[in-house]
């Protein structure tokens, strides 16, 4: 400790040295020194979670040009480079020691090779800029769920985003003392031009689950750089797999039932599939919209939100469908907008925002006006399809009072959803935990969206909507999920939902707000207060119950014809999906539990029996 603390003393000014010294952690000092020597920053700032330090970072983001002040206080705008607008899956890799194999579907690189590449790119990368050191906790502080985390970055935008999105952790590090159990994140945006990263060919995101460190370089986009988000999720999935709990790509919400009852649900949806809008439904309360830790605490599955903020997609947000988010985006609370259009009066515009599109402005592509095209002749929209907003959950009127409960909340149900135009009904309850994990969670297929680089509209497979973030073999991940439920005394029910089912005319069969009714029905099912119909793939609502609920919660009539169109069992499509999923898991080299194939086989046999008895398309009224 003496050597590392002396090195720190020589590198830091007195004020920032005292901040590190007060933590009194040898392992942390060694981590800091190692990376200071690699990065060779011009200066160093340590954030101790005081408002003074937070304001230093906010002001620095403006001074650096990484954020632009808007026409309201506490509102800023950040631009990523035109080729730095989404998660870079190709260059996001796990560092694996020789002899270690993660199995199929995970992007890996030899650890020695990856670290050599990191050291080459990051060597002296901060010699003309300031290193920012920040401390956070993943999950509530002083909790069975707490994981402390340290971020090293030269991006004031990344630092500003994280102080909005995460719980402060400086005091928690002091409480932990000389502890080596923390996550470390090292990021540099690299060389900048007009305040955006330009060396995209040297963009790298390397994840070391042995050392619990993530390296990110030559990128600013939040999904590649905000270390505590999906990058930390990969570290936590590995950690959870060793310790017998779950790290999931899930929201957590309190659904309010009769009387004063609140039933908590978590839910996993691929990006742009209704996850945040489900978590944010009016009349309900939110704990989190993105990442959950779930642990067995005294026989109950209990969950916490890893984060304290929202890094949400802004496309199509409007006052009718998203009233609470709309209010924040147009109010006085602190918000960072990213990759939207800034107008001449320093307001912002995004795709789907009500009102007329401005005649001119500035966006991530530079000066913009309607009709502008990129080098391939494609129209450049006012905002990027993956444009975001960043704000703290405390700004929400519907934040659940148990948001910071150190023991989390007891889950009554888990929901899995995706973009599916032709197979899943709008809402269905699984027969039991294992059936739900296999046929809903482990069978998620969804159309790709603008949140990842590559083509859109392609149906992709993502178990529990987590494939992009797995740091363990897929088969092992599914097996851990199955076994976790088997370890509980009180087991959450599992549901599948589909907001994107289409009719033969190509029109959606669900309206955007129908999810209110699906969620209320699930809450009643968890509490054994409403019946259901067994259709061979699980349980669906009865028409008479939905008719009453549509009237009660949405104030509209619900026609039997709509019920039949929405809840008809589409046997050919379900069999096709069953066969696709079975083939996917058969081609996974190892670790897939036998029970998965047993459940899929039994499901297919039941579908074939129903087909023989009732035909290809079976009305729910015939069950």
Integer Cα distance of 58 and 76 in angstroms: 10
Q: Does residue 588 contact residue 105 with C-beta atoms inside 8 Å?
A: yes
Q: How far apart are CA 577 and CA 439, in angstroms?
A: 10
In Å, what is the CA distance from 470 to each residue of 116, 305, 434, 449, 586? Answer: 24, 18, 20, 19, 19
Least Cα distance to 357 among 367, 366, 346, 369 occurs for 369
CB distance 320 to 395 below 8 Å: no
Residues assigned a catalytic role? 273
CA distance 28 to 184: 9
CA dihedral 549, 551, 557, 561 (to 10 degrees): 10
Contacts of 527 (CB under 8 A, 6+ apart): 257, 261, 263, 412
The residue among 530, 554, 555 whose CA lies nearest residue 543 is 530
Work out whether strand 493-497 and strand 409-417 pair parallel, antiparallel, or are unpaired.
parallel
Longest dimension (CA), the chain: 81
Nearest C-alpha neighbor of 416 from the set 398, 435, 402, 400 = 435
Spatial separation of the C-alpha atoms in residues 544 and 566, rounded to whole Å:
15
Angle 135-137-140 from CA coordinates, rounded to 5°: 150
Label each residue of 419-483 as H, E or C. Answer: CCCCCCCCEEECCCHHHHHHHHHCCCEEECCCCECCCCCCEEECHHHCHHHCCCCHHHHHHHHHH
Element (H, E) at 148: strand 147-153
CB half-sphere exposure, 405, CA atoms < 13 A: 16
Contact criterion met (CB below 8 Å) for 617 and 571: yes
| Contact of 404 with 426, CB cutoff 8 Å | no
Give the E-state strand segments of 371-408 in sequence order: 388-392
DSSP, collapsed to helix, strand or coil, labels residue 311 as strand
Taking Cα atoms as reference points, which of 309, 166, 146, 169 lies closest to residue 236? 146
Structure-block tokens of residue 342: 């800034």
């Amino acid at each position: 400790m003496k050597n590392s603390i002396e090195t720190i003393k020589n590198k830091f000014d007195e004020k920032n040295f005292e901040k590190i010294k007060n933590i009194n952690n040898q392992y942390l000092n060694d981590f800091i020194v190692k990376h200071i020597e690699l990065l060779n920053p011009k200066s160093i700032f340590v954030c101790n979670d005081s408002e003074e330090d937070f304001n230093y970072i906010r002001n620095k983001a403006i001074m650096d040009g990484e954020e632009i002040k808007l026409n309201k206080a506490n509102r800023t705008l950040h631009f990523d480079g035109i080729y730095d607008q989404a998660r870079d899956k190709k260059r996001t890799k796990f560092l694996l020691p020789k002899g270690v194999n993660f199995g199929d579907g995970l992007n890996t690189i030899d650890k020695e090779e990856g670290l050599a590449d990191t050291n080459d790119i990051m060597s002296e990368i901060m010699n003309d800029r300031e290193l920012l050191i920040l401390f956070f906790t993943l999950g509530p502080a002083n909790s069975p769920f707490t994981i402390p985390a340290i971020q090293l970055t030269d991006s004031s935008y990344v630092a500003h985003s994280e102080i909005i999105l995460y719980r402060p952790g400086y005091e928690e590090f002091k409480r932990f003392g000389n502890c080596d159990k923390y996550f470390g994140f090292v990021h540099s945006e690299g060389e900048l031009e007009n305040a955006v990263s330009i060396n995209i060919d040297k963009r790298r995101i390397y994840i070391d689950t042995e050392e619990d460190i993530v390296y990110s370089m030559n990128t600013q986009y939040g999904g590649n750089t905000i270390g505590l988000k999906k990058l930390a999720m990969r570290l936590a999935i590995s950690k959870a797999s060793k310790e017998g709990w779950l790290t999931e790509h899930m929201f957590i919400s309190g659904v309010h039932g009769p009387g004063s009852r609140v039933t908590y649900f978590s839910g996993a949806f691929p990006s742009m599939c209704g996850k945040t809008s489900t978590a944010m439904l009016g009349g309900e309360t939110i704990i989190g919209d993105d990442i959950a830790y779930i642990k067995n605490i005294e026989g109950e599955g209990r969950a916490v939100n890893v984060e304290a903020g929202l890094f949400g997609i802004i496309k199509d947000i409007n006052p009718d469908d998203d009233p609470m988010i709309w209010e924040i985006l147009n109010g006085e609370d602190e918000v960072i907008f990213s990759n939207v259009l800034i107008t001449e009066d320093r307001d912002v515009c995004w795709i789907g925002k009500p009102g007329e599109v401005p005649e001119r402005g500035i966006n991530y592509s530079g000066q913009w006006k309607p009709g502008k095209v990129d080098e391939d002749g494609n129209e450049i929209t006012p905002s990027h399809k993956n444009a975001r907003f960043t704000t703290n959950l405390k700004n929400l009127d519907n934040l659940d009072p148990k948001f910071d409960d150190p023991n989390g909340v007891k889950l009554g149900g888990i929901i899995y959803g995706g973009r599916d135009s032709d197979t899943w009904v709008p809402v269905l309850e699984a027969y039991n935990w294992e059936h739900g994990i296999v046929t809903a969670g482990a069978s998620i297929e969804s159309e790709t969206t603008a949140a990842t680089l590559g083509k859109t509209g392609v149906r992709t497979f993502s178990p529990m909507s987590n494939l992009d973030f797995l740091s363990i073999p897929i088969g092992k991940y599914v097996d851990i999920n199955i076994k976790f439920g088997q370890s509980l005394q009180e087991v959450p029910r599992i549901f599948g939902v589909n907001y994107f089912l289409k009719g033969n005319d190509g029109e959606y069969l669900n309206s955007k707000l129908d999810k209110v009714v699906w969620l209320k029905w699930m809450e009643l099912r968890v509490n054994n207060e409403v019946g259901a119909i067994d259709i061979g793939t699980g349980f669906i609502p009865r028409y008479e119950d939905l008719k009453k609920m549509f009237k009660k919660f949405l104030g509209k009539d619900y026609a039997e014809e709509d019920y039949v169109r929405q809840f008809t069992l589409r046997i050919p499509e379900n069999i096709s999906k069953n066969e696709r999923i079975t083939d996917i898991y058969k081609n996974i080299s190892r670790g897939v539990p036998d029970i998965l194939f047993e459940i899929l086989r039994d499901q297919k046999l039941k579908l074939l029996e129903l087909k023989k008895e009732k035909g290809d398309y079976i009305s729910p009224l015939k069950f």
